[in-house]
Amino acid sequence: MNSNEIEIHKELKKYFGFSQFKGLQEQVITSILGKTNTFVIMPTGGGKSLCYQLPALIQDGTAIVVSPLIALMKNQVDAIRSLSSENGIAHVLNSSLTKTEIAQVKKDISAGLTKLLYVAPESLTKEEYVAFLQSVPISFVAIDEAHCISEWGHDFRPEYRNLRSIIKQLGKVPIIGLTATATPKVQEDILKNLDMADANTFKASFNRPNLYYEVRTKTKNIESDIIRFIKQHKGKSGIIYCLSRKKVESIAEVLQVNGISAVPYHAGLDAKTRAKHQDMFLMEDVDVVVATIAFGMGIDKPDVRFVIHHDIPKSLESYYQETGRAGRDGGEGHCLAYYSYKDVEKLEKFMSGKPVAEQEIGFALLQEVVAYAETSMSRRKFLLHYFGEEFDSETGEGADMDDNVRNPKNKIEAKDQVVK
């Protein structure tokens, strides 16, 4: 170790209490400290936040962190503040602040106290803020969830497209883009839109060797099939994703009637009920959450043992994100998706009301899901290939962890049961 390495290890311990870096963190941090544009692609839970938090804490000036969700920003600010005796060390700047609060934020930044300033992308477009940020030293700009910049990502936010021109107004500051979306198309888009083809790129593997992937043909018996599956995983935590709120409600009810402790979760429920159901799941007062995709962002329950897709997701990124909530602790994680072509047509119909460009992207993404569901090759290989990663389906980690590899024949038998 050279003196720099010893230094950042010491700081890691001092601020976060960790004695080791996770995955590529150390290389990423070294790149950021070298004032170079840096692009970080790591799966959810990989430890991306620390990649910009640590260099922000140990450098002069304020790091700006762009993040799409106010709730996530608040969590991070609270977490950083708990590491320090100085409250001003981290702030959020957004439209919900009062004039007095804004004045305090500006005062702390000007005094050099604030190491991390979290901003929503729409706040960063405000001229008043930009003018202020031009007047103070900025260490770097981190763009978290950078896939929001791409129409090919699962969460396109047009405001992200303005970021590059705003950052340019701040002078020559390094940019750090971070995402858990690994498709080559999205990566290209990010690099292009942020004008940082020169960035040092760090990509972690997306393989989750402890997850078992399975696709079953959706038949009219799906409900009893799900009940049987859950009863085989008695007392274990699991999530069931459905496309519609109505389906969420009806499946939750069917499970309850069958003696399974389950609660619904979707955006149509009031905030109090949603929070209650989420807590019940986290505290293990219920085993199963039946949810739309509204459920899961920022939820870190380590021992989710299964994720069931009652309906196919709209893209393989979504599928990877949603199934990725299983087995965070490295233990068993069974990912079961039900597939019928009728659902594909339903999703296509959903999209037909959208602008043509968006439709085309939507169809293309959906076709990849169809190909995944219908493939007879290693599902892990298929998924990882989609993310631009080569996987050896003979010797790779977790190579035998899917239905196609374990028993290729079952799939053909199951096909005969399709209900037309």
- Look at residue 209 and give the partner it binds from Mg ion, ligand ADP, none, a contact being a CB closer than 5 to 8 Å depending on partner kind: none
User: What does the per-residue mask of binding to ligand ADP show for 49-88, with x meaning CB under 6 A?
Assistant: xx--------------------------------------
Q: Which of 24, 41, 48, 286 binds ligand ADP (CB under 6 A)?
A: 48
- Look at residue 85 and give the partner it binds from Mg ion, ligand ADP, none, a contact being a CB closer than 5 to 8 Å depending on partner kind: none
Q: Which of 24, 29, 33, 42 binds ligand ADP (CB under 6 A)?
A: 42
**Measured distance CA(59)–CA(61) in Å, rounded:** 6
Whole-angstrom CA distances from 278 to 11, 77, 297, 345 are 35, 22, 11, 31
Report the nearest approach of ligand ADP to the CB of residue 155 (Å): 14
Report the nearest approach of ligand ADP to the CB of residue 78 (Å): 13
Q: Which residue is nearest to Mg ion (CB)?
A: 48
* Identity of the residue, 56 or 242, whose beta carbon is nearer to ligand ADP in the bound complex: 56
**Measured distance CA(11)–CA(377) in Å, rounded:** 46
- Look at residue 82 and give the partner it binds from Mg ion, ligand ADP, none, a contact being a CB closer than 5 to 8 Å depending on partner kind: none
Could you tell me if 150 and 190 are in contact, meaning their C-beta atoms sit under 8 angstroms apart?
Answer: yes
Tokens 């190491």 belong to: 115
Give 361-366 contacts, CB < 8 A, sequence gap 24+: 361/151, 361/152, 362/314, 365/152, 365/314, 365/315, 365/316, 365/317, 366/314, 366/315
Residues near 31 by beta carbon (within 8 Å), at least 6 away in sequence: 38, 200, 202
- Look at residue 306 and give the partner it binds from Mg ion, ligand ADP, none, a contact being a CB closer than 5 to 8 Å depending on partner kind: none
Residue 44 interacts with ligand ADP (CB under 6 A): yes or no: yes
* Identity of the residue, 178 or 288, whose beta carbon is nearer to ligand ADP in the bound complex: 178
- Look at residue 42 and give the partner it binds from ligand ADP, Mg ion, none, a contact being a CB closer than 5 to 8 Å depending on partner kind: ligand ADP
Report the nearest approach of ligand ADP to the CB of residue 17 (Å): 9
Tokens 């009893």 belong to: 224
Report the nearest approach of ligand ADP to the CB of residue 322 (Å): 14
Residue 18 interacts with ligand ADP (CB under 6 A): yes or no: yes
Give 394-397 contacts, CB < 8 A, sequence gap 24+: 396/207, 397/207, 397/209
Residues near 269 by beta carbon (within 8 Å), at least 6 away in sequence: 277
How many residues bind to ligand ADP according to rule CB under 6 A? 13
Report the nearest approach of Mg ion to the CB of residue 208 (Å): 17
Q: Taking Cα atoms as reference points, which of 216, 210, 226, 233 lies closest to residue 290?
A: 226
**Measured distance CA(420)–CA(341) in Å, rounded:** 10
Report the nearest approach of ligand ADP to the CB of residue 145 (Å): 9
* Identity of the residue, 181 or 315, whose beta carbon is nearer to Mg ion in the bound complex: 181
Q: What are phi and psi of 217, to 5 degrees?
A: -70, 135
Report the nearest approach of ligand ADP to the CB of residue 206 (Å): 12
Instruction: Specify the 3-state DSSP secondary structure of 213.
Output: strand
Report the nearest approach of Mg ion to the CB of residue 44 (Å): 7
* Identity of the residue, 48 or 305, whose beta carbon is nearer to ligand ADP in the bound complex: 48
Q: What are phi and psi of 26, to 5 degrees?
A: -65, -45
* Identity of the residue, 25 or 217, whose beta carbon is nearer to Mg ion in the bound complex: 25
Instruction: Specify the 3-state DSSP secondary structure of 329.
Output: coil
* Identity of the residue, 321 or 340, whose beta carbon is nearer to ligand ADP in the bound complex: 321
**Measured distance CA(244)–CA(224) in Å, rounded:** 19
Which residues of the chain form contacts with Mg ion (CB under 5 A)? 48
Which residues of the chain form contacts with ligand ADP (CB under 6 A)? 18, 20-22, 25, 42, 44-50
